[in-house]
């Protein structure tokens, strides 16, 4: 995967960990670094038709097990947030399982849970090490 933005990207290609190098950077900026566009009610993936909220399916954002109810484009991640961007039926019986299974590994990389060990250095080419 090519690094499109030095401000936000996947942590050493770990698809479960966002790495942000700028304060107050909207989640949409991180997604743009992956060539994904998020609007108030649509999610556009590379080379695919946009997935937009409709009667049957919705674009939803969960942060720390809670549905984010403000405009999706306004969300600014904070250190250790657990995030799920979901498209589908909000009544899906598996949705709560998806939410509760979001990994909590960011503390490992930010150094706020030293009992879990020391994360390996990142090779993003910027000042990333703790």
The per-residue pLDDT for 102 is 84
Answer whether residue 51 is part of any domain.
yes
CA 109/CA 11 separation, integer angstroms: 9
CA 109/CA 112 separation, integer angstroms: 8
Answer whether residue 3 is part of any domain.
no
Tokens coding 108: 């490992």
Give me the domain span that covers residue 72: 8-116
Contact 79, 18 (CB under 8 A): no
The per-residue pLDDT for 97 is 95
Question: How many domains does the chain fold into?
Answer: 1
Per-residue pLDDT for the chain (130 aa), expressed as one digit of tens each? 444 555 655 555 555 555 565 577 788 888 887 788 999 999 999 999 999 999 999 999 999 999 999 999 999 988 788 889 999 999 999 999 999 988 777 666 677 777 877 776 666 554 444 3
Q: What is the Cβ-side half-sphere exposure of residue 52, based on CA atoms within 13 angstroms?
A: 5
The per-residue pLDDT for 105 is 72
CA 56/CA 27 separation, integer angstroms: 25
Answer whether residue 43 is part of any domain.
yes
Answer whether residue 127 is part of any domain.
no
């Amino acid at each position: 995967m090519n690094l499109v933005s030095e401000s936000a990207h996947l942590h050493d290609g770990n698809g479960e960990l966002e790495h942000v190098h700028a304060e107050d950077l909207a989640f949409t900026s991180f997604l743009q670094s992956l060539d994904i566009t998020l609007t108030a009610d649509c999610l556009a993936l590379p080379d695919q038709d946009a997935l937009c909220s409709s009667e049957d399916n919705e674009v939803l954002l969960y942060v720390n097990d809670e549905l984010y109810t403000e405009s999706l484009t306004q969300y600014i991640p904070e250190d250790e947030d657990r995030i799920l961007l979901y498209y589908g039926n909000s009544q899906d019986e598996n949705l709560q399982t998806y939410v509760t299974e979001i990994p909590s590994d960011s503390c490992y990389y930010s150094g706020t849970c030293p009992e879990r060990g020391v994360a390996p250095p990142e090779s993003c080419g910027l000042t990333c090490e703790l």
